[in-house]
Structure 1
């Protein structure tokens, strides 16, 4: 009898210990669909709220198109934090959530294609509390303007074998999820048991293209440009159009090519047209450099070697030290100030994501501490808040303000009429980026630099400022042979054994305005691949694989 009692009660005791070992009391599982699918990943078309989610909504097959809304809803027995605690019971709750998260494994036709340990900072949207929630929804693809880590992860899956595996036809697509912990760089990843898994049949069909999608788009009248008659390889451009239409180059909205000051190519994609105002994000920073050059030229600012103490009483801001006094405008133009600000490092106090929610972006920047490891002008580090400071300095130094000055001094001479600024919380034009224009207007701006500051026979911007801007002022760390000028980037591309150097404006999503030094070319590429790893590499592909072969044949 004692032996029987032992067999009966020992498992119950073990269960009690396991339950008591949880860090957090999980949300009560009340939903019947959840109860029926614990340990499963279900697939659904779009974001169906849990309280509306029905068994009939769970997909068994799905035609995966470029524009689609494939979502998953994950049903777990426990919360993410509790699963991590089981892996590393000695870690504090705070340390747990900074050392691990979930591991996603992707299979196609029962073959493991890609595994990713998602960053510890990845959350699960509303209703996805890591401590208590046992279910969450993430989009793998979306047409709703969502910007989730899961969509980037799905893109990485496709780029790391998924695209090759998902050929035309039907494929069994499976996802497995496990918890993982990684304490530091020297410690291997520790992975837990399977939390949830699910599969769906994906149907893949290559879209059929029309002749209009493939052909070189004719340049319509009234472009405000003289049309180039210079011959180019149209078949190369047709191949480019096929690649964009097939979504092998993604979210491209326009390509404009200017040769010898004349419009050679003007093409639009993905519902954009000549009148579309493109949000080219940080490509707008380069306009700040232009306006600074004009303000120096017109005597509103002495030169770029002036320091911040000329424009601000720095002692009135937090974290004052003498080192702050010596920051030059040039340091901000070359992204080499010693502010403790870096958009590259997520944990940097001066990261732009910390600036945007603040009430005063200028105050945010000037309150930042100095980085003890940096010297002013000594090290490149991308720092958006520094460009906001430049905009504020310009706005204060020009009697009628920066917005009117830009309109009269830059846009009007170039006949740029279609544009839209964003603004800081203080209603000053946002020099950090997102100055929206049409592609042809961006081309005028870039061609001004190609013309050494001359437009329609009139010197708009001084050649001296353009020379300084197009000087390799500072090396970009960890990028071979890439440099930075005055809020312009610099790199070299190789084609058929020759190297061609160019300066360019660049913005999130793969947006680039390219000005070649030796070649008589200006290229505008606009794209909406925001926060996608493939954004800028796509621009390199367009230039190197299609445009240069087409025009340098």
Structure 2
């Protein structure tokens, strides 16, 4: 007689010395069996290449599990989810007076960079244009023919020169112009723009991006292990590839949930967090965009609800639902796989949100 395989059972997260309180999900009203069921679906191959899932409820970790070689100490390469960190750092730099505001003109920070084909319109590009993926540069990572496609930047010696010398974009008949678009901006996903935003931070703060991130974000959150990438000319890569442990990614999400606070300390200005998590451009029919943060729509107990997220290649996400005090981290190594993003979103929808208490 063949005995059935025992289904996974829920176990609360372990208490550690990283500042995270932990709690038993069941005692808080979560459907613990639904959370535990995730482990069975990873084990049977339903979900592939997932390395961790961490969930926090009102500042307490209620679920934590690692898969496929993932560990609490693994520095996850979250790819473009790093862009959301760059947005946080812009808020920190504005608070410190290093940057005037998001209307600051980008080219004013780089008087030393030679522009091969000067155009007066370049001077009108603002930091906010970069944060909302809506600058007038011809830059679209989703279009292999685009002059500014990120893969073209990566093979150049000087990424900053590449980006600042991008041409002004045009508008094909089927592309909505800014004056006709929601929020008055035409969205095009542009990693080069996020990279330049990081370069602006370095010029404004007079520090390497990694050093400013440590001072402004990581040290206040008790984050001690991290890896930032740099471009070929040594500029911090604000557009992707930063590596964090899963619990530390959850801390970044908690800042967004709690108005910029961690353990009562105001790490980021509350007004900046509000602005960052406000739609400024329509990214797709089913998603809006804040300041380098995505806004998706998910069903929460049958009600369509807007959820903000840090998002990166491979299916890496930090989902936040501030009104419910919810943070969910999903790390994955399904890089460049078509199933990666739908899979991670399905885990959030069908496991985390399904298990969420009704209140």
TM-score by length of 1: 0.60
1:51-450 equivalences in 2 (<5 Å): 211=6, 214-222=8-16, 224=18, 225-229=20-24, 230-313=28-111, 316-373=114-171, 378-450=185-257
Name which of structure 1's ranges 230-239 and 512-521 shifts more when overlaid on structure 2. 230-239
Question: Aligned-pair distance for 1:378?
Answer: 2.5
CA contact (8 A) 2:208 2:236 kept: no
Question: Aligned-pair distance for 1:511?
Answer: 0.7
Higher alpha-carbon Rg: 1
CA distance in 1, matches of 2:113, 2:38: 55
Question: Aligned-pair distance for 1:309?
Answer: 3.1
Name which of structure 1's ranges 282-291 and 232-241 shifts more when overlaid on structure 2. 232-241
Q: 1:452 to 1:510 in 2, by over 3 A?
A: same
The answer on 1:505 being equivalent to 2:299 is no
Question: For residue 536 of structure 1, what is the aligned residue in structure 2?
Answer: 341
Question: Could you report, residue by residue, the CA deviation over 1:82-137 in whole angstroms, capped at 9, with x for unpaired residues?
Answer: xxxxxxxxxxxxxxxxxxxxxxxxxxxxxxxxxxxxxxxxxxxxxxxxxxxxxxxx
Q: CA-atom RMSD, angstroms?
A: 2.0
CA contact (8 A) 1:314 1:325 kept: no
CA contact (8 A) 2:147 2:166 kept: yes
Q: 1:540 to 1:439 in 2, by over 3 A?
A: same
Q: Secondary structure at the match of 1:475?
A: strand
Question: For residue 324 of structure 2, what is the aligned residue in structure 1?
Answer: 519
Question: Could you report, residue by residue, the CA deviation over 1:52-94 in whole angstroms, capped at 9, with x for unpaired residues?
Answer: xxxxxxxxxxxxxxxxxxxxxxxxxxxxxxxxxxxxxxxxxxx
CA distance in 2, matches of 1:372, 1:320: 17
Question: Aligned-pair distance for 1:402?
Answer: 2.6
CA contact (8 A) 2:258 2:325 kept: no
TM-score by length of 2: 0.91
Question: For residue 60 of structure 1, what is the aligned residue in structure 2?
Answer: none
Matched length: 343
CA distance in 1, matches of 2:4, 2:217: 41
CA distance in 2, matches of 1:446, 1:517: 9
Question: Could you report, residue by residue, the CA deviation over 1:370-419 in whole angstroms, capped at 9, with x for unpaired residues?
Answer: 11326696200000001111111111111333322211121100001111
Query: Structure 1 regions of 5+ residues with no counterpart?
Result: 1-207
Question: Could you report, residue by residue, the CA deviation over 1:297-325 in whole angstroms, capped at 9, with x for unpaired residues?
Answer: 10001011011232123883123211111
Question: Aligned-pair distance for 1:368?
Answer: 1.1
Q: Secondary structure at the match of 2:220?
A: coil
Q: Secondary structure at the match of 1:358?
A: coil
Question: Aligned-pair distance for 1:218?
Answer: 4.5
CA contact (8 A) 1:506 1:512 kept: yes
Question: Could you report, residue by residue, the CA deviation over 1:14-70 in whole angstroms, capped at 9, with x for unpaired residues?
Answer: xxxxxxxxxxxxxxxxxxxxxxxxxxxxxxxxxxxxxxxxxxxxxxxxxxxxxxxxx
CA distance in 1, matches of 2:17, 2:328: 16
Question: Aligned-pair distance for 1:499?
Answer: 2.1
Q: 1:458 to 1:495 in 2, by over 3 A?
A: closer
CA contact (8 A) 1:227 1:264 kept: yes
Query: Structure 2 regions of 5+ residues with no counterpart?
Result: 172-176
CA contact (8 A) 1:483 1:489 kept: yes
Question: Could you report, residue by residue, the CA deviation over 1:224-262 in whole angstroms, capped at 9, with x for unpaired residues?
Answer: 211123242222123221111111111111000000110
CA contact (8 A) 1:502 1:514 kept: yes
Question: For residue 473 of structure 1, what is the aligned residue in structure 2?
Answer: 280
Q: 1:209 to 1:430 in 2, by over 3 A?
A: farther
CA distance in 1, matches of 2:198, 2:331: 24
CA contact (8 A) 1:314 1:320 kept: no
CA distance in 2, matches of 1:210, 1:416: 39
CA contact (8 A) 1:422 1:435 kept: yes
